[in-house]
Amino acid sequence: MADIKALKSDLERRMEGAVDVLHKEFAGLRTGRASVSLLEPVMVEAYGQAMPLNQVGTVGVPEPRMLTVQVWDKGMVKSVEKAIMDAGLGLNPQADGQLVRIPIPPLNEERRKELAKVAGKYAEEARVAVRNVRRHGMDELKKGEKDGDISEDEHRQYGDEIQKMTDASVSKIDETLAHKEEEIMQV
């Protein structure tokens, strides 16, 4: 049944996509040095809509414990500052004309725990995305059975396969989270 194979490969691709997004978000949780990717998840309220920070200014790393954002539009400086503060990264930006300086605080125990919580939040979002993909797949199977395309036994069998894919993706997410938390808590 080519339809089921296409469904399974689509679900697998989407679950892998959720895991990949998690890896990108974790890349933004730098533990030692300042990194441009630290500000990638930051969305700025600009011109009536939410935009990624890199679309309103140039992000730079002038020194190991400092990030800068050269804001292109002078009127956006306050929005950029607010977006960075509200991002939950524990950063405190300081405006200097059109340049926003973001000192990266040294990681004390409290900050490490904060970053671990942020990592946990990202992992939970990825788990939810994987579960949503599973739900979509199960709905498709239900629809296929209702339309008479697959039997009840096939529905159960394919449902088990989708559940196994889901479990594998969730365990990848959990492993990645454990590794990242270990990296964050390392002194």
Render pLDDT for 29-72 as a digit per residue (tens, 0 to 9): 766 667 787 788 888 988 889 889 888 999 998 887 888 999 99
Residues 115, 178, single domain; the answer is yes
Q: Provide the residue type at 123 as one letter.
A: A
Q: Which domain CATH number covers 94?
A: 3.30.1360.40
Q: What percent of the chain has pLDDT over 70?
A: 96
Residues 176, 130, single domain; the answer is yes
User: Do β-strands 49-52 and 43-46 pair in parallel, antiparallel, or remain unpaired?
Assistant: antiparallel
Give the total number of structural domains in the chain: 2
Residues 72, 16, single domain; the answer is no
Cα(120)–Cα(107) distance, integer angstroms = 17
For residue range 2-41, list pLDDT tens digits in order.
588 888 899 999 999 999 999 888 877 766 667 787 788 8
Cα(105)–Cα(94) distance, integer angstroms = 13
Residues 79, 113, single domain; the answer is no
Residues 112, 53, single domain; the answer is no
Residues 69, 96, single domain; the answer is yes
Residues 125, 180, single domain; the answer is yes
What is the Cβ-side half-sphere exposure of residue 119, based on CA atoms within 13 angstroms? Answer: 26
Residues 87, 39, single domain; the answer is yes
pTM of the entire predicted model: 0.67
Provide the b/e sequence for 138-172 (b: ≥16 CB within 10 Å). bebbeebbeeeebeeeebeebbeebeebbeebbeb
Q: For residues 169 and 42, which has the higher predicted lDDT (pLDDT)?
A: 169
Residues 135, 175, single domain; the answer is yes
Residues 41, 21, single domain; the answer is no
In terms of residue numbers, what domain contains 20? 2-26+108-185
Residues 163, 142, single domain; the answer is yes
Cα(74)–Cα(51) distance, integer angstroms = 16
Contact 50, 43 (CB under 8 A): yes
Which of these, 73, 66, 70, 26, lies nearest to 47 by C-alpha position? 73
Q: Phi/psi of residue 133, each to 5°?
A: -65, -45
Residue that terminates a domain, selected from 85, 103, 121: 103
In the chain, what's the furthest Cα-to-Cα distance? 67
Residues 144, 160, single domain; the answer is yes
Q: For residues 163 and 187, which has the higher predicted lDDT (pLDDT)?
A: 163
Which DSSP symbol is given to 41?
T
Q: 78: Cβ–Cβ under 8 A, 6 or more apart, which residues?
A: 95
Residue that terminates a domain, selected from 71, 103, 135: 103
Identify the band that residue 125 occupies on the pLDDT scale cut at 50, 70 and 90: very high
Q: Which residues pair with 66 in a beta bridge?
A: 63, 103
Residue that terminates a domain, selected from 57, 77, 103: 103
Q: Which domain CATH number covers 155?
A: 1.10.132.20
